Structure 1
């Protein structure tokens, strides 16, 4: 295979071969001219006679026949155990009575050597996609969180103190057992498929009216950043199946897509964003009240969009994938 310091690149091989075959140069003289050995010059001349200019490129060094290669039935059993039982090389080797190194070589050749590359539900290789331009697809969903009592919740203070804080929080309804009902917070999230830029709003419900209002504001928010929304992907929640949602999408010129029922992996980008949202904002520290946590969301979103490096897009902040921002190139 040719490299940066190779004496003969494919173009130089062609010139060498033509000197010998077409111009009648002696092999030794042509080899001296290109500073290679005469067997090398002769080999390229023979290839030129047989295949022409196409024969000047490197050939694969892979053997035509590998008698010691792992048999196909064994490969199929290795892949089956990996997909269906998610076993590692050692576990598969003990099942099939083959060396663990052989199992790993097969897994690497089939590109399933990492469990993170396999779907947790089906065990099949994960199929990833990314739209080419910002706005080609927006993922939209709702993250439901329990509200924090005044004084802090049980995650940081423990069960007993968290229970006391729930009872001391004013204005909360009581159950038939006199237990306070803290209620829930609904974070309506929107994320661009190409850039991973995120938009979020906090509300007290997930009704169709709220979902439509969030969609309108999200489309306007992205439009202010030079992004034209073309499609939106949601799950099959009631707010996304309403006539009000359908009419709003038609008015905005947005095509609505739904995920497969009972398969959140279809909307996996926003599900992964919810995981980051929970770890980086919702449960990142002790909040003395629900209002304190809500007030912290805009700052975290700015950090996520403008400063946090995103591994899925090449270790850069999501905002860098939007090329039409005002002042970006100044």
Structure 2
């Protein structure tokens, strides 16, 4: 397909070339007739003499040879440093004696321009995935979170006073379940991470997803002791759900719920200086509703998880 501003289509080029080659028109006359430059008219006429009608098609503008392109050996050195040391273009350029812009172009060419695209453990390019339907896979995890002491922590009282006030505040455990396809989340703040607590949480989460019209087929967890218990196994087996566990020391495999954990820390747990743990917990249900129904998700093209779950109630409240 020719460029939208090109004066000649393939048919027009052929007519121009035939006027010059077969009808013996002067180049200047043909150029004026087809409203192009004399150079353009000469180019298409020359191609027609060499290649016939086939020469009227568009060609790639990519050069046949790039003498100034970074040598392959240098590109390999850049990639090796990037993967092994996780350095940015400036540090790699300093080490190898190159221009930072050259290093950045090489990293972009091989899709390594962002460190977030590399797995922290292996340095390999992260393979992202998304299951095709809600319920195909649900990510489950527990996030341990320090409680806020009465009167507030260091954000309210200052670092020194907040550290003293926090001595006996204790911790809470956020049990989270996130649907892989829709990112719909179910979460509870509980007192521990025992197998009985985790199993009871999952049964409530399972009922929640069922109420949204989601049939859970598989569940992915880490290798925590509560998820390796017979109680957990039997609860999933009774519901006809397949249990999968991540590889040891590879939390990124359960990345969607790990990303949810980080989001709730940034946008709820540490979003404002709460004065008591009760105040923070009271704010959690509303934040969770906002996350599911109104907060745009980058992986969903700016839409909330509710947009992928038609049966979800309360979507417009």
TM-score (norm 1): 0.78
Q: What corresponds to 1:279 in structure 2?
A: 266
Q: Does the residue aligned with 1:129 lie in a helix, a strand or coil?
A: coil
CA drift of 1:266 comes to 1.0
3-state SS in 1 of match to 2:206: helix
Report what 2:65 is aligned to: 65
The one of 220, 225, 234 equivalent to 1:238 is 225
- Structure 1 residues 63 and 16: alpha-carbon distance in aligned structure 2, compared to 1, 3 A threshold: closer
Aligned-pair Cα RMSD in Å: 3.5
Alpha-carbon distance in structure 1 between the residues aligned to 2:115 and 2:184: 27
Cα distance change on mapping 1:275 and 1:328 into 2, 3 Å: closer
Deviation of the 1:15 alpha carbon = 11
211-220 or 90-99, which moves further after superposition? Answer: 90-99
1:194-214 deviation digits (Å, cap 9, x = unpaired)? 221211011111111221222
Aligned to 1:176: none
Q: Which runs of 5+ in 1 are unaligned?
A: 167-179
Of the candidates 250, 260, 272, which is equivalent to residue 263 of structure 1?
Answer: 250
> How far apart, CA to CA, are the structure 2 residues paired with 1:45 and 1:230?
66
Are residue 187 (structure 1) and residue 194 (structure 2) matched? no
Distance 2:262 2:245 in 1: 21
Seen in structure 2, the aligned counterparts of structure 1 residues 7 and 219 have a Cα distance that, compared at 3 Å, is: farther
2:180 pairs with 1:203: no
Using the alignment, how far apart are the partners of 1:76 and 1:100 within structure 2? 16
Equivalent residue number for residue 150 of structure 2: 150
The residue matched to 2:139 in structure 1 has which SS?
A: strand
Q: Residues 267 and 49 of structure 1: is their aligned pair in 2 closer, same or farther, counting only changes over 3 Å?
A: same
Displacement of 1:298: 0.4
Q: 2:291 aligns with which of 301, 304, 307?
A: 304
- CA offset digits 1:237-293 (Å, max 9, x no partner): 011111111111122222111111011111112111111111211222233322222
* Number of residue pairs the alignment of both structures matches: 307
Task: Specify every segment of 5 or more residues in structure 2 that has no aligned partner in the other structure, as ranges.
Answer: 26-30
Q: How many angstroms does 1:83 deviate by?
A: 1.4
SS of the counterpart of 2:263?
Answer: helix
Once the two structures are superposed, what CA deviation does each residue of 1:97-117 show, in whole Å capped at 9, x if it has no partner?
A: 233332222111111122232
Give the whole-Å Cα distance in 2 for the aligned partners of 1:14 and 1:134: 51
Structure 1 residues 241-250 or 118-127, which shifts more? 118-127
CA contact (8 A) 1:148 1:290 kept: yes
Deviation at 1:73? 0.9
Name 2:28's counterpart in structure 1. none
SS of corresponding position for 1:122:
coil
Is 1:123 the counterpart of 2:117 in the alignment? Answer: no
Aligned residue for 1:139, secondary structure, equals: strand
Match among 202, 211, 226 for residue 224 of structure 1: 211
Give the secondary structure class of the aligned counterpart of 1:151: coil
Measured in 2, the distance between the counterparts of 1:326 and 1:27 equals 76
* Superposed displacement of residue 233, structure 1: 0.9
Q: How far did residue 7 of structure 1 move? A: 6.1
Could you say if the C-alpha distance between residues 328 and 165 of structure 1 is closer, same or farther in structure 2, counting changes exceeding 3 Å?
closer
Partner of 1:79: 79
Q: Determine the structure 1 residue equivalent to 2:108.
A: 108
> Could you tell me whether the CA contact under 8 Å between 1:135 and 1:227 is conserved in 2?
yes
Contact 2:149 / 2:277 at 8 angstroms: preserved in 1?
yes
